[in-house]
């Protein structure tokens, strides 16, 4: 592994949605009425991160529709999510066109979430460099290891919490695989799966600190407090399903070559495209 290689994997959906809601006051549109406010914010966030972390390689991962192997496993998965805002919909394809102008690969595969593509790319590229995942999604913390860091975007621009193994232990009190175990126990309200009814984060953390994993907890059921034991036994199937839903698939059959991700801005091409979409003021952030 070449420690001079630093790969920035961008969670495209996380940045675009964050940008849309941060820029919702903006009336930025093209002549034909197409909104570009989310795209403008997306590239602000991207360029901030490039300037902050100085990657040698950049790749961007995307969701490819709402139907995935998780919704096949559990029909209510993410069923509580509202439809994408109308003004955001035309920006989905346009932002990918602009990302491609930078010669940044857009990676996504139907049936999988962006998280799975990110996990797969991170597993592959950690062999050739240090990996940094830019996201707002705490689920990604399960991917942290010696070579993979997760950059959680906090409120405002250029405000990050950068998780490595040490900071994850210090901040959350858990190891990366225990992120999955926690979700198995507590569920995830934003993804709409319940975990074990009546077990919250505090109890889950206590159980994992003591027994390390769900398997460890289950093999010690008899010595757990009666109320906790009863809750787990009542929701055993959902416990196992929730853990499966929480686990990021790091073996998605995607093609993404390391050399294709090299960060080298073709300024002529980018300038032409950004002028076309009235975004050229952003380019001063990278020139």
Domain ranges of the chain: 6-172+252-282, 176-246
- Going by pLDDT thresholds of 50, 70 and 90, the confidence category of residue 1 is low
Q: Round the CA-based radius of gyration of the chain to a whole number and report it.
A: 20
Phi, psi dihedral angles at 113 (to 5 degrees): -90, 165
CATH of 176-246, one of 3.40.190.10, 1.10.150.20, 1.10.10.370, 1.20.1070.10: 1.10.150.20
pLDDT beyond 80 at 213: yes
Exposed (0-12), middle (13-18) or buried (19+): which is 182, by Cβ within 10 Å?
Answer: buried
Q: Starting at the edge strand that comes first in sequence, how are the strands of the sheet with 6-11 ordered?
A: 106-107, 57-61, 6-11, 130-135, 148-153, 160-163
pLDDT beyond 70 at 281: yes
For residues 234 and 208, what is the distance between their CA atoms, to the nearest angstrom? 19
pLDDT beyond 80 at 79: yes
Cite the DSSP H helix spans in 127-223: 165-172, 176-186, 201-211, 214-218
Q: What is the pLDDT of residues 121-142, one digit of tens each?
A: 999 999 999 999 999 999 999 9
Residue 221: how many CB atoms within 10 A of its CB? 13
pLDDT beyond 80 at 25: no
Name the β-bridge partners of 10: 60, 134
For residues 146 and 143, what is the distance between their CA atoms, to the nearest angstrom? 10
pLDDT beyond 90 at 23: no
CATH of 6-172+252-282, one of 2.30.30.240, 1.20.59.10, 3.40.50.1010, 3.90.25.10: 3.40.50.1010
Rounded to the nearest integer, the mean pLDDT of the chain is: 94
- pTM assigned to the model: 0.95
- Would you say 203 and 227 are in contact if contact means Cβ atoms under 8 Å apart? no
* Predicted local distance difference test score (pLDDT) of residue 177: 98
For residues 11 and 91, what is the distance between their CA atoms, to the nearest angstrom? 16
* Predicted local distance difference test score (pLDDT) of residue 80: 87
């Amino acid at each position: 592994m070449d420690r001079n290689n630093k790969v920035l994997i961008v969670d495209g959906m996380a940045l675009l949605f964050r940008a849309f809601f941060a820029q919702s006051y903006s009336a930025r549109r093209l002549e034909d009425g197409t909104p570009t406010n989310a795209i403008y914010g997306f590239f602000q966030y991207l360029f901030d991160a490039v300037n902050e972390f100085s990657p040698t390689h950049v790749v961007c991962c995307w969701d490819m529709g709402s139907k995935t192997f998780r919704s096949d496993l559990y029909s209510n998965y993410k069923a509580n999510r509202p439809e994408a805002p109308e003004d955001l919909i035309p920006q989905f394809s346009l932002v990918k066109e602009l990302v491609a102008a930078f010669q940044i690969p857009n990676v996504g595969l139907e049936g999988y979430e962006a998280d799975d593509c990110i996990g797969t790319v991170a597993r592959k590229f950690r062999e050739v460099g240090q990996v940094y995942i830019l996201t707002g999604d705490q689920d990604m913390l399960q991917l942290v290891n010696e070579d993979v860091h997760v950059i959680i975007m906090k409120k405002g621009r250029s405000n990050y919490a950068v998780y490595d193994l040490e900071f994850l232990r210090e901040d959350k009190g858990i190891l990366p695989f225990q992120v999955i175990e926690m979700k198995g126990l507590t569920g995830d309200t934003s993804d709409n799966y319940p975990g074990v009814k009546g077990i919250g984060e505090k109890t889950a953390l206590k159980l994992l600190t003591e027994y390390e994993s769900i398997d460890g907890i289950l093999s010690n059921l008899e010595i757990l407090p009666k109320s906790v034991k009863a809750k787990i036994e009542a929701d055993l199937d959902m416990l196992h399903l929730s853990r499966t839903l929480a686990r990021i698939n790091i073996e998605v059959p995607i093609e993404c070559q390391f050399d294709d991700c090299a960060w080298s801005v073709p300024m002529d091409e980018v300038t032409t495209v950004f002028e076309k979409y009235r975004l050229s003021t952003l380019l001063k952030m990278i020139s």
